[in-house]
A and B are shown apart, each in its own frame.
Chain A
Amino acid sequence: MLKTLDQFKVGETGLIKKVEGEGRLRRRLFDMGVTPGATVYLRKKAPLGDPLEITIRGYELSLRLSEAKLVVLEVEGEK
């Protein structure tokens, strides 16, 4: 099932299929390792529900819902 990262529930894991958006923002996502083929685990949401904290490529990354919307993943499972 395909889903964008902003629709993930805490604890869900997914495999990145596509990164949308353009320019600076997209490049920044790539540079931080958010590329197709990477596994993402949604660790938690900030107290006010946004931004998100994910585990990717063995480290913790924080990004906003608006940026998470650009990341399309295949849902892999829940922990």
Chain B
Amino acid sequence: MKRFALAGNPNCGKTTLFNALTGSTAHVGNWPGVTVEKKDGTYKKLEENISIIDLPGIYSLSPYTNEEVISRNYILEEKPDCVINIVDATNLERNLYLTTQLLEIDVPVVVAVNMIDVLEKQGDQLDEKVLSEKLGVPVVKVSALKSNNLDDLMKVAYQASKKSREGNSIIQDKNLNHLIGDLKIAFKGKEVENPLFHAVKLAENDELETKDHTDLLEMVKEFKKTIKNEVFGDDIEAIIADDRYNYISKNFSNVITHKEKVEKGEVKETKSDRIDRVLTHKVWGLLIFAVILFFVFHLTFAEDLFFLHAFGVEFTPCFQDTIYEGLFWGEGGIASPGVILFNFFDMSFGAIIEAVGGALESSLPESAAWFQGFLCDGVLTGLFAILGFLPQILFLFLFFSIMEDTGYMARVAFILDRIFRKFGLSGRAFIPMIMGFGCSVPAMINTRTLADDKERTATIRVIPFFSCGAKLPILVAIAGGIVEYFGWGNADVITYSMYVVGIVAAITCLIIMRKTTMRGDAAPFIMELPAYHWPQFKSLMIHLWDKAKHFVKKAFTIILASTIVIWFLSNFGWNWAYLGEFDGSILEGIGSFIQPIFTPLGFGSQLAAFGFVFAVAAITGLIAKENVIATFIALGAIILAGHPELIEALEADGDGIEAAVAMINATGITWQGCISFIAFNMLTIPCFAAVATAKAELPKGKFKWTILFWLAASYIGSAFIYSFLSMFSAESLAWAIPVTLSMIAVAVGAGFCIHFYNKKRDAQSLEA
């Protein structure tokens, strides 16, 4: 099967073209080694099927971003039969810059001038014949959005792919062409493929080329002595970049005939500019963004969509005790669309589990009762708990995709960059972080929009600190338990402070990373601000469908496996006999064994009977944070055995507050220990789904360290919180003050050491 690669600038409509050409045949995978999505699909309207490969959007073939290296290597090494270069008709000058580089490769190239409809709507005309003549390759005018001329494009590309094409360069500088010619001959002598491309890149002092062809470097050096460009001296890289742009503006400025004559330097105000004047306004810009963000989360997660409580409206549900209650509204008021979807899934899943359970109960013999427990409590409950989040995750994704598609996300990065630079990040890092409040998985996937590997790693590491939806039940239950058992405080304040703790932890860790492992300059922030346009329904849906597939696949593999293992461990004893209860199970054994580790955190050996519960809950939480409170509720029933009225209260209370109270009562844990336990769960390894995502998204070699980072952050963080808070109780004051002070002293000391070490190292590197 012939392979055609799509190459072009970001925002030139490449993905739209890809979707239009391949329809539903698209298939998403990851590039080997690096974590950029590779998409391929099939075009079926020619005499033979064509495989279409969507390369990442790039501005150049220089090796400075992952995307550029991938595209370059794909074309050079995988040798597609044709490269379709998509250029944006409304931004020809910059788009053709990439074209001039693609032309240097020995591969058939067809230029597709996209968004021609937009150009023509403005009353402008583009002469593709002139363009084709000058470039020396076929040019086809298309509109990917309206699917105009796409079949013509493919026919032309198909014809082009039948002949081989030798690369040509548009570089005008005579002296330079001499050098490139010589290098090309040298490369040919070495039987290197694509000699012209390599020759140009070597002359440009390209990182990858100079590494591979050290023998030819001497030639470049010798040559440099002979040239003296008036503007650039012997800076060949600059001469070539300048040459390309000069060539483009000289030859192609008359390709487009404008309806209205535009004076040179005159800037016309477009619709985009008018929108921008509001959205990136000096004062209102930040405020508008905050409001938009609030509504995105509100529409996804709110149980009181219309702020009935805030307005003091007493909401009396009608149709009480019907199926509608709980789906569209509850005690809190009328639900948001995200919550309605969540409820719908939740209720359907509940019904399925009940039906399956009932069917099994009546048909299975007594001896196989464990199978019902396995299927209903283990597999289905675990799986549905994860799948239940799918609607809200997709909902959140939909909003963020719209923001990305319309071009607003780039403005958000623009507005916030100043703040984030302080932590060595760019403004773009804000979006994945804020998504972390919903779910870490889409948040980590979203870090793909970050250009710099260092920035991605740092962002992925702190994403779990932005407490996700699944951690909220832990906060609610334990904060509620503290208030009810110890009789002081305010559950909302505790919950809110824990969110703040997470954010403070994230900032602290970013600063520490910035000073130690992630030193160096902040990634540059040279970013295109694309014109605003309406999001396209079709591409949004394709996007969401991809995400859903990805998520479901994960739920059915890694998460399913882990729930089965946990169920097995918590229901079977060491003698491999089915117990049907937690008492005496393997998990209890493991829990008791590791319990002492948590002593410095306040929920280890100091606890009385059932103290292992906290250890077990923390561990099951590593698989999914929903497990923490589920474990509490399951074990609460065991602890309260003999008090049927308490068990009833426990079961009636869906928030797990009663379970938390029972735990505190039985184990004698202090309130400091409770808060430390929340903090541990917030800061530690997030969940299986997030860990799997982090592994896929992190640059090579960073995964191990990230796991270690999470463990260290949660352990040190909660130990500090525990001892710090213990200073406020009379009985623990005696040990807590010296311990807290010495922890602070160690931290300050380490800070100074790092500071002076860095200073010394900088001074050394400056000397060198």
Known: A28-B64, A46-B414. A18 touches B231 (CB 8 A): yes
Q: Is the CB of A30 within 8 A of B93?
A: no
Also in contact, A46 and B241, with CB within 8 A (given A24-B64, A28-B526, A36-B231): no
Q: Which of B52-75 contact A (CB under 8 A)?
A: 59-60, 62, 64
Interface size of A as a range: 35 or more
B15 at the interface (CB under 8 A from A): no
The answer to whether A64 and B421 touch across the interface, beta carbons within 8 angstroms, is: yes
Given contacts A31-B241, A32-B526, A62-B414, contact A46 B280 (CB under 8 A): yes
Please, which residues of chain B bring their CB within 8 A of the CB of A67?
524-526
Least Cβ distance of B549 to chain A in Å? Answer: 34
Distance in angstroms between the alpha carbons of A29 and B238 in the assembled complex: 10
State whether the Cβ of B282 lies closer than 8 Å to any Cβ in chain A.
Answer: yes
* Complex CA distance for A14 and B283, rounded to whole angstroms: 27
Q: Does B761 contact A (CB under 8 A)?
A: no
Q: How far is the CA of A24 from the CA of B276 in the complex (A)?
A: 30
Taking A47-B285, A53-B414, A67-B525 as contacts, is the C-beta distance between A58 and B280 under 8 angstroms?
no
Q: How far apart are B225's CB and chain A's nearest CB, in angstroms?
A: 20
Give Cα A46 to B418, complex, Å: 8
Distance in Å: Cβ of B250 to nearest Cβ of chain A: 11
Partner pick for A33 among B94, B276, B413, B417, CB 8 A cutoff: B94
Contacts A47-B282, A47-B285, A51-B414 given; indicate if A35 touches B242 (C-beta within 8 A). Answer: yes
B residues less than 8 Å from A58 (CB atoms): 90-94
Q: How far is the CA of A25 from the CA of B521 in the complex (A)?
A: 11
Measured between beta carbons, the chain B residues less than 8 angstroms from A51 are 414, 417-418, 525
Decide: B524 and A61 in contact? CB cutoff 8 A: no
Chain B 468-511 interface 0/1 with A at a Cβ cutoff of 8 Å (1 = within): 00000000000000000000000000000000000000000000
A53 to chain B, nearest CB (A): 6
Contact with A along B501-531 (1 / 0, CB 8 A): 0000000000000000000000011111111
Closest partner residue, chain B, to A17 (CB atom)? B231
**A55–B266 alpha-carbon span in the complex (Å):** 11
Distance from A68 Cβ to chain B, minimum over Cβ atoms (Å): 10
Q: Are A48 and B265 in contact (CB under 8 A)?
A: no
* Contact indicator A64/B417 (Cβ below 8 Å): yes
Query: Which residue of chain A lies nearest to B407 when distances are taken between CB atoms in the complex?
Result: A60
The answer to whether A30 touches B237 (Cβ under 8 A) is yes
Q: Return chain B residues, CB-CB under 8 Å to A76.
A: 265
Flag whether B155 is at the interface (Cβ < 8 A). no
CB of A57 within 8 A of CB of B242, answer no
Measured between beta carbons, the chain B residues less than 8 angstroms from A30 are 237-238, 241-242
B-chain residues with CB within 8 Å of residue A26 when the two chains form the complex = 237-238
Q: How far is the CB of A30 from chain B (nearest CB, A)?
A: 4
Against B, the Cβ 8 Å flags (1 = close, 0 = not) of A1-38 are 00000000000010000110000111111111111111
Number of chain B residues whose Cβ lies closer than 8 Å to a Cβ of chain A: 45
Residues on the B chain within 8 Å of A79, using CB = 267
* B417-428 interface code vs A (CB 8 A; 1 in, 0 out): 111010000000
Is A47 a contact of B286 with CB atoms below 8 Å? yes
A19: min CB distance to chain B, Å? 7
Chain B proximity mask over A46-77: 1 for CB below 8 Å, otherwise 0: 11111101010111111110010000000011
B245 interface residue (CB < 8 Å to A): yes
Question: Which of B92, B249, B285, B525 makes the CB contact (< 8 A) with A63?
Answer: B525
Tell whether, in the assembled complex, residue B64 and residue A35 are in contact, meaning their CB atoms are under 8 Å apart.
no
Interface contact A37-B246, CB-CB below 8 Å: yes
How many Å lie between the Cα of A12 and that of B124 in the bound state? 28
B524 proximity list for chain A (CB < 8 A): 24-25, 28, 63-64, 67
Most chain B beta-carbon neighbours within 10 Å: one of A33, A58, A77:
A33
Number of CB contacts from chain A to chain B under 8 A: 128
CB of B531, distance to nearest CB on chain A (Å): 8
Contact pick for A61, options B237, B238, B417, B528, CB 8 Å: B528
CB <8 Å contact, A50 and B417: yes
Which residue on chain A has the smallest CB distance to residue B273?
Answer: A43
Check B137 for interface membership: any CB of A closer than 8 A: no
Chain B residues within 8 Å of A77, by CB: 265
CA distance A50 to B267 in the complex (A): 22
In the complex, chain A residues whose CB is within 8 Å of the CB of B265: 13, 39, 41, 76-77
Which listed residue (B93, B280, B414, B525) contacts A57, Cβ 8 A? B93
Does B281 sit within 8 A of A, measured CB to CB? yes
Chain A residues near B276 (CB, 8 Å)?
44
Smallest beta-carbon distance A6→chain B, Å: 14
| The one of B64, B415, B531 that contacts A47, using a Cβ cutoff of 8 Å | B415
Q: Which residues of A contact B285 (CB under 8 A)?
A: 46-47
Whole-angstrom distance from the CB of A11 to the nearest CB of chain B? 9
Cα–Cα distance between A69 and B290 once the two chains are bound (Å): 31
Please, which residues of chain A bring their CB within 8 A of the CB of B413? 62
B274 at the interface (CB under 8 A from A): no
Interface hits, B89-110 → A, CB 8 Å? 90-94, 97
**What does the 1/0 interface line of B398-420 toward A look like (CB < 8 Å)?**
00000000000010011101110
B526–A47 CB distance below 8 A = no
Bound: A79/B269 CA distance, A: 12
Query: Of B237, B242, B283, B419, which one neighbours A37 at CB under 8 angstroms?
Result: B242
Q: At the interface, yes or no: B190 with Cβ under 8 Å from chain A? A: no
B121 within 8 A of A: no
Cβ of B704 < 8 Å from any Cβ of A?
Answer: no
Flag if A53 contacts B529 (CB, 8 Å): yes
Residue of A nearest to B527 (CB): A62
Question: Min CB distance, A77 to chain B, in Å?
Answer: 7
Q: A19-B238, A48-B419, A63-B526 are in contact. Are A31 and B91 (CB under 8 A)?
A: no
Q: Which 3 A-B pairs have the closest CB atoms?
A: A30-B241, A31-B60, A48-B418
21 A-B residue pairings within 8 Å (CB atoms): A25-B526, A27-B237, A27-B241, A31-B59, A31-B60, A35-B238, A35-B241, A36-B238, A37-B242, A37-B245, A37-B246, A37-B249, A39-B264, A46-B414, A47-B285, A48-B418, A50-B418, A57-B94, A58-B92, A61-B529, A67-B525
Q: A44-B276, A57-B91, A59-B530 are in contact. List 19 more A-B contacts (CB 8 A).
A: A18-B231, A25-B526, A26-B237, A27-B60, A27-B64, A29-B526, A31-B62, A32-B59, A33-B97, A35-B242, A37-B242, A39-B265, A43-B267, A50-B417, A60-B529, A61-B527, A63-B525, A64-B417, A64-B421
